[in-house]
Amino acid sequence: YVGLTLGWLDQQEIAYTSQSDLSHFSIKGNQKYTSFETTISGDYSSASFFFCAAAITGSSLTVEDVDKDDPQGDKAVLDVLQKMGCSVKWNSNKSVTIQGPSTSLVGGTFDLNDIPDALPVLAVTACFAEGTTILENIEHTRIKETDRITVMRENLERLGAHIEEQEDALIIHSHNTLRGGTVLGYGDHRIIMWMA
């Protein structure tokens, strides 16, 4: 999200300096934004719910108005799904088709440090993969709207998943035929969206 913001500042020729670790910024005052016309790319965070639904069901899905060159972090969900056995094909720079596998998804180890908002959607998706899936480097998701590591473990266990919680990871073992049940949203929109 910092990268997205800096991209817009660069496009508007707003002068700033930043440290290489992006922890401090200095922005000169009395600068001006100018009006412009552009098309805003679709939101990869929201699209990831549909990408993962196609992956789980072995379906084909085309999403339009997403920019292949957009710096949004959650675009990396497509890379994770590809490693899990999905086919991802860009039809143009603004349209992508995902095809879920005809057999089953394959587990793996995935570093979600740069895509923490994808943790809920990928945790559910991993429940449908063969083998063990490790979603790691996610300790910072404990300080989102809720502790998403604990909440996802608790909710998925309620639905029958075999899942372990570590300080900075979720480990999801293939087992998994999830069943219906009652889950808690904890006031966190991403938890509510994906548990539904």
Q: Are 96 and 63 in contact (CB under 8 A)?
A: yes
> Which of 79, 169, 162 lies closest to 127 in space, CA to CA?
162
> Which of 163, 170, 121 lies closest to 142 in space, CA to CA?
170
Average pLDDT for the chain: 94
User: CA-CA distance, 44 to 36, in Å (whole number)?
Assistant: 23
pLDDT in tens, 2-30: 888 998 999 999 999 999 888 999 999 99
Out of 21, 43, 70, 117, which one is annotated catalytic? Answer: 117
Q: Is 65 a catalytic residue?
A: no
Q: Is the pTM of this model over 0.85?
A: yes
Residue-level pLDDT at 79? 98
Residue-level pLDDT at 40? 87
pLDDT in tens, 133-158: 999 999 999 999 999 999 999 999 99
DSSP 174: S
pLDDT in tens, 50-65: 999 999 999 999 999 9
Strands (E), the chain: 16-18, 25-27, 60-64, 87-92, 95-99, 105-106, 109-111, 129-130, 132-136, 162-166, 169-173
Q: Are 124 and 194 in contact (CB under 8 A)?
A: yes
Share of the chain above pLDDT 70, in %: 99
Share of the chain above pLDDT 90, in %: 84
DSSP 182: -
Judging by DSSP bridges, how do beta strands 162-166 and 169-173 pair with one another? antiparallel
Residue-level pLDDT at 25? 95
